[in-house]
Structure formats: C-alpha cells, structure tokens
Amino acid sequence: MIFAGAALLLLVFVLAKSVRLLRARAFPWRDPRAWSAAAAVCLGITFFVYMFGALSGFTQTSEVCAVKSGHGSGNRPDSVTETSFPLSYECRWNDGTTIDLVPAWVNPAVFVFATGFVLCSAKAVHAAVTSRAVTSRTGASS
C-alpha cells in the first residue's frame, strides 16, 4: 500500500514536470533549471517503468507463469530465473516452453529514459557552467 502511494506521488510529479516543460513555448536551452527538470522527468519515468516491470511477476510467479503460458494453473514451471538488469522473470518447463513475465517494452524504455536522464543531467551541468562563465565575464567588464 505504501509503494502504491509512492508510485502515485511519483506519477503526479512526473506528469506535472512534463506538463510544465511542454507548456513552455520555447524550451529555454541555456537554462540549467530546465535541463534539471527534464532530467528529473526522465529519472521519474525510468523508476516508474522499472517498478512496473519488477512488479509484473512479484506475487505468485509460478502460478502466473503457468496461466500465461497456457499450461494451466496446476502445471508449475520447473525453474524461474529472475534478473534485475536487464529486468526479467523467466519461467521454464522441461518441454522447452519459456515465458518472460516482464513486458518486452520495459527494458528498452528503461534504457532510453536512463540515457535521457544522463544526457539531460550533463547538459544541465554544461548550461550551469556556461552561464556562470558568461556572468563572470560580463560582471568583470562592468
């Protein structure tokens, strides 16, 4: 229940930041705060998508695998392999059937938004350093 509340709060934050960025008529390319906001949005989406994938097989993994594979709820998988990155809950049966409970779009989305976070963070630092250098040059000449 606590996780659901935190996820909802994160979703509201991400949506609010996204709307704020989209409402700006022209993206302030030199403003470090805008890049920081974009980085925060990317990080929030990354976390939300990763947690969505992580919860795909969180409870009763064996039973969910059996139902999704068409084996029926009584035929549990012989092995379940879980990995954190790339995120996967893979169920295997001795007859060669394999099913992954994590949707196929989760790992690419996590990669894309994590990359966006890194790039926006780097651009925020670059914009901050550049604006500081410009401010110190104009301040020195006055």
**Tens-place pLDDT, residues 1-44:** 555 666 667 777 777 777 776 676 556 677 888 889 889 989 99
| Triad 10, 13, 17: Cα angle to 5° | 140
Mean pLDDT in residue range 116-130: 93
**Widest pairwise Cα distance in the chain:** 80
Q: Tell me: pLDDT of 142 over 50.
A: no
> Tell me, what's the pLDDT at 16?
78
